[in-house]
Amino acid sequence: MDNRPDSSTPRPLQTMPEHLNTAEKGLNENHAVIDEPKPFMPDLLTIPAISVKAGIQPVSLLENGQMDVPDNTEITGILFPGVLPGGKGNVIIDGHVDSYSGPAVFFKLKKLKQGDKVIVSSKTGRQLTYIVESVEAFTPAEAPMERIFGETGERRMNLITCTGRYSRKKKEHEKRLIIFTKLDGEL
């Protein structure tokens, strides 16, 4: 007697084949399964167009509601808690434009243009590329806070630094430079 199951009888799978496991995948416009990135805490920011390669450290909001910046002017800060690269929403990374001793990490940020790449990576090998959509400057009073910091169903990253003249009286630059980017592949 043959104890083998009838080949026409469906058998349950022990594990879902990897190409069919859609728990962390989505569908593209052709209904093909695509990987969706998992959010991660980055360690390094690279912007090839302006030769930036800088560390990233978590920063939080200050008591006055403003985003903190790293003490080291050659390091960038990622708003945390907040959206992390790969997550839906606005990842926020800031950095100094200059210091009393000269240019800082985001000194050349204003030279970025549409289509330039901004890459975030981690020591574990995770890496995502964002593409610059626009480079815009605002006075603090004019800044579109919802567009910069608000919720969105897209995977975005906004880079922030100071720009314009420095007021010694106010101890700040007159404007904020925002680089609006979107995760590569979602343009």
For residue 76, the surrounding DSSP H or E stretch is strand 76-79
**For residue 166, what are its two tokens?**
């420095």
Q: Is 96 a catalytic residue?
A: yes
**For residue 133, what are its two tokens?**
């959509």
CA–CA separation, 161 and 142 (whole Å): 15
Q: Which of 19, 31, 162, 173 is catalytic?
A: 162
CA–CA separation, 124 and 79 (whole Å): 20
Q: Which of 19, 31, 96, 173 is catalytic?
A: 96
CA–CA separation, 120 and 90 (whole Å): 14
Q: Is 75 left (phi over 0), alpha (psi -120 to 50) or beta?
A: beta
Question: What spatial distance separates the first Cα and last Cα of the chain, rounded to whole Å?
Answer: 61
Q: Is 19 a catalytic residue?
A: no
CA–CA separation, 108 and 49 (whole Å): 9
CA–CA separation, 96 and 163 (whole Å): 10
Please list the alpha-helical segments (H only) found in the chain: 145-149
Catalytically annotated residues: 96, 162
